[in-house]
Structure 1
Amino acid sequence: MTEKISQQLLNDFAILPKRNTSPTFMEICQMGGDRFEERCSQIFKFYFNPNAPHGLKGLFINSLLEIMQNVELNYSFQGVRVITEDTTSDNKRIDIIVETDCFVMAIENKIGAKLYNPLESYVEHINTKYKDKKSFFIVLSARSINDISELRKIQSIGYQYINYQQLFTVVKRNIGDYISNCNQSYLIFLMDFIRTIENKFYNTHMEMNRFFFNNRFQIEELINEYNAFKESILNMQRENISDILLIVNQKTNAEWWKYQGWDLGISFNDNGNRIGIESSYSDETVDNPLGDFHIYITVWKEKCFNPYEEELRKKFPDCFIDRTQGRVYLHLPVIKGNDHDVIAEKLSEYYFYMKDLTSRIK
């Protein structure tokens, strides 16, 4: 791949709208399967209620009425009730019922499963229980229903099919009329919910997809070249670690280890509060592709750091302590340049200090 083509590819990629790859709160909670569908129904129950503390008033009801077309109804917010899992006379359950003073909506909420529900029973139940009100029947589905026979069945029973994406599109378009007095926390929760569904079911990044499809061969070549570039740097770091290992083993008369060739270390009190020294090259640059040499005093279980912490803070008062994913790293001063003797001397100094410390503190 020529430099000109590579640069053009990167320029084209730079101007594309990027995916938000950070997980939503719902994704972090790992809701899935039927439980996910139930949670979605409870979320809709909250946002369909214009009296709920979200402060978005009739945003969801009005947006749904807008999608249904030719439906102009005046209703009172005070008269709205939202019910989930309402039981019919034959012990079937309607996912969501939105009742107002002048109409009622029966919503069958579907996520990924096929529509096997007894819609006829739901119609009979609603028409009997709410016979004095106008009724609407809606299949609100996260998955796209494209099967003609399934759509005809929905319509023949008196239901209207509406996709989540349709509802969210209208909600996002209308939200500006409701946002000034809403509760900002619940607005954030709503946006998180919408993005969770879009991530799970909808392809909302066609520009990015088109770029990848149209340039996949050049991208693969670029990735291969980049991986080879990274491997060449890693091999260079491994070679230097091997040289340092020989020197530090002699200086300390101890057996240091190499983890995957690039991480040089040793541990103490392996049967108790295990603590150790780790070191590696990082912070590579164009002018310094090998990187600088970083040394850490570390534990593999956070609780093991507690007995040593006071002593280590006194010895290294200006060094940063990083606690992450159950481990603790005490960052010692970085060694710039690549003098193996200087590096090995520092590792030896830290080794003898830690050997003494761990002989006193178990």
Structure 2
Amino acid sequence: MEIAGYPHYENVCSNILQFYLQPDNEHGFGSLLLDSLFTLINEEVVINGQNIDVRREESTDIGNRIDLVIKSDDFVLGIENKLFADLYNDLGDYTNHLENKYLREDRPVYKIILLLDLIQITPSKDIHGFKPITYALFFEKVIENIGSYFLTAREPHVAFLRDFIQTIQNLQRKTSMDQQRLTFFHDNQHDLAKLPTEVDALRKDMREKVNQLRVIIADEAALLPFDIESGVWRFSDLRDFLWCTVKTSNSFWLQVDFELTPVGWRSRFFYKKNGGINDVKQWVNAREIQYEILPDERRLIYRDKLPYDSSIQEVGTWGLEVLKKLTTAPVV
């Protein structure tokens, strides 16, 4: 979509929000999304769409960036948009910037964190007056209020908004299976090959998890020092993979697989282009990464593994840790 602007997933979401939060944009939904946000934080705000400016990545004095700042003559709203990552942002700096730059007696400043799950906020973290809202509640309120806007809303922006909501809802959907069924899969992997219905259910769940991990890693991989390509694939047995090719040089490419089985997650390293297993060992040893060696001695296995029912946030943090370790400079 043209309104998306960038390939990184969180940036795409923020750009789409920018488009639909601007009341006088061509979508025809007016202030639907803004009204829904203010309702959720129990604020009665009169919105005049003619004097609203929705800004992306507004910089603070110390170089931090606020995802969305909505400025009008009557109010200012700052939004921090979080999809998968934990809330590590300097909200105190955001608050100082918004209040020092915009706050006045006749123009209040509001602050919102828009996120997939409240568990992304560490309980002990000071959020400096930001009000957390989940995407689930936000879209529930948007859908509740959307009826009166259909006469003014314009295609294809109605379809784009529907697709955006569906995409985020798909990310929110929990894919972990219940523990009883997971234990059954774990204890009876070979017998389950004869049970197509149950096996198909497991494979679908595994592919959803692998695709969600790919979304998380794609948003951060572009910031790493090497070009990284990725994709998904599976064996005929119960193994699903997210593969990442790290192009370390013209002569040597490092392959990193994130493998999911009913037992859980593990990561393995080997060579993709030129070189050999000794080159992989030398690369990994130079970065002091702990690993095991498979019996065939052609794969290195990252020491830390995760159980199948780990949350997608845990898996994403683990996967990014692997890539960051592999792409840092050697330890001197």
TM-score calculated relative to the size of structure 1: 0.46
* 1:149 maps to which of 123, 126, 147: 123
User: Which residue of 1 is the match for residue 151 of structure 2?
Assistant: 180
For residues 146 and 120 of structure 1, do their structure 2 counterparts lie closer, same or farther at Cα, with a shift above 3 Å needed? closer
How far 1:223 moved relative to its partner?
Answer: 8.6
**Equivalence map 1:261-280=2 (5 Å):** none
Contact residue 63 and residue 170 of structure 1 kept, 8 A = yes
User: Which residue of 1 is the match for residue 285 of structure 2?
Assistant: none
For residues 147 and 138 of structure 1, do their structure 2 counterparts lie closer, same or farther at Cα, with a shift above 3 Å needed? closer
Q: Does structure 1 residue 137 correspond to structure 2 residue 121? A: no
* 2:16 maps to which of 23, 43, 52: 43
**In structure 1, C-alpha distance between the alignment counterparts of 2:153 and 2:109, rounded to whole Å:** 29
How far 1:226 moved relative to its partner?
Answer: 6.3
**In structure 1, C-alpha distance between the alignment counterparts of 2:192 and 2:123, rounded to whole Å:** 47
**In structure 2, C-alpha distance between the alignment counterparts of 1:143 and 1:149, rounded to whole Å:** 13
Unmatched segments (≥5 aa) in structure 2? 198-332
Q: Deviations over 1:259-288 (max 9, x none)?
A: xxxxxxxxxxxxxxxxxxxxxxxxxxxxxx
Of the two, which has the highest radius of gyration?
A: 1
Contact residue 85 and residue 93 of structure 1 kept, 8 A = yes
**In structure 2, C-alpha distance between the alignment counterparts of 1:226 and 1:40, rounded to whole Å:** 37
Q: Does structure 1 residue 92 correspond to structure 2 residue 64? A: yes
For residues 80 and 222 of structure 1, do their structure 2 counterparts lie closer, same or farther at Cα, with a shift above 3 Å needed? same
Q: Does structure 1 residue 66 correspond to structure 2 residue 43? A: no
**In structure 2, C-alpha distance between the alignment counterparts of 1:153 and 1:127, rounded to whole Å:** 17
How far 1:143 moved relative to its partner?
Answer: 3.3
User: Which residue of 2 is the match for residue 165 of structure 1?
Assistant: 136
Matched position secondary structure for 1:86:
strand
For residues 139 and 147 of structure 1, do their structure 2 counterparts lie closer, same or farther at Cα, with a shift above 3 Å needed? closer
**In structure 2, C-alpha distance between the alignment counterparts of 1:158 and 1:139, rounded to whole Å:** 10
How far 1:145 moved relative to its partner?
Answer: 2.4
Contact residue 58 and residue 69 of structure 2 kept, 8 A = yes
**In structure 1, C-alpha distance between the alignment counterparts of 2:173 and 2:49, rounded to whole Å:** 32
Matched position secondary structure for 2:23:
coil
Q: Does structure 1 residue 121 correspond to structure 2 residue 131? A: no
The RMSD of aligned alpha carbons is: 3.1
**In structure 2, C-alpha distance between the alignment counterparts of 1:146 and 1:222, rounded to whole Å:** 36
**In structure 1, C-alpha distance between the alignment counterparts of 2:135 and 2:164, rounded to whole Å:** 11
Contact residue 110 and residue 143 of structure 1 kept, 8 A = no
**Equivalence map 1:266-345=2 (5 Å):** none
Q: Deviations over 1:11-62 (max 9, x none)?
A: xxxxxxxxxxxxxx89xx9x98xx1111111000001000110000010000
**In structure 2, C-alpha distance between the alignment counterparts of 1:141 and 1:225, rounded to whole Å:** 38
Q: Deviations over 1:99-154 (max 9, x none)?
A: 1221110001111111111111111111111122200111111233265625x522
User: Which residue of 2 is the match for residue 199 of structure 1?
Assistant: 170
Matched position secondary structure for 2:171:
helix
Matched position secondary structure for 1:175:
helix
Q: Deviations over 1:154-184 (max 9, x none)?
A: 2xx1111111111111111111121111012
User: Which residue of 2 is the match for residue 79 of structure 1?
Assistant: 51
For residues 37 and 223 of structure 1, do their structure 2 counterparts lie closer, same or farther at Cα, with a shift above 3 Å needed? same
For residues 197 and 79 of structure 1, do their structure 2 counterparts lie closer, same or farther at Cα, with a shift above 3 Å needed? same
**Equivalence map 1:24-43=2 (5 Å):** 35-43=8-16
**In structure 2, C-alpha distance between the alignment counterparts of 1:184 and 1:49, rounded to whole Å:** 17
**In structure 1, C-alpha distance between the alignment counterparts of 2:92 and 2:57, rounded to whole Å:** 16
**In structure 1, C-alpha distance between the alignment counterparts of 2:54 and 2:79, rounded to whole Å:** 11
**In structure 2, C-alpha distance between the alignment counterparts of 1:162 and 1:181, rounded to whole Å:** 27
Number of matched residues? 187
Q: Deviations over 1:315-361 (max 9, x none)?
A: xxxxxxxxxxxxxxxxxxxxxxxxxxxxxxxxxxxxxxxxxxxxxxx
Matched position secondary structure for 1:180:
coil
Matched position secondary structure for 2:156:
helix
Matched position secondary structure for 2:131:
strand
Question: For residue 174 of structure 1, what is the amino acid of its counterpart?
Answer: N
Q: Does structure 1 residue 106 correspond to structure 2 residue 64? A: no
For residues 195 and 90 of structure 1, do their structure 2 counterparts lie closer, same or farther at Cα, with a shift above 3 Å needed? same
**In structure 1, C-alpha distance between the alignment counterparts of 2:63 and 2:196, rounded to whole Å:** 61
Contact residue 118 and residue 132 of structure 2 kept, 8 A = no
**In structure 2, C-alpha distance between the alignment counterparts of 1:49 and 1:164, rounded to whole Å:** 18
**In structure 1, C-alpha distance between the alignment counterparts of 2:64 and 2:170, rounded to whole Å:** 31
Between Structure 1 and Structure 2, the one with more helix by share is 1
Question: For residue 47 of structure 2, what is the amino acid of its counterpart?
Answer: Y
Unmatched segments (≥5 aa) in structure 1? 1-24, 228-362
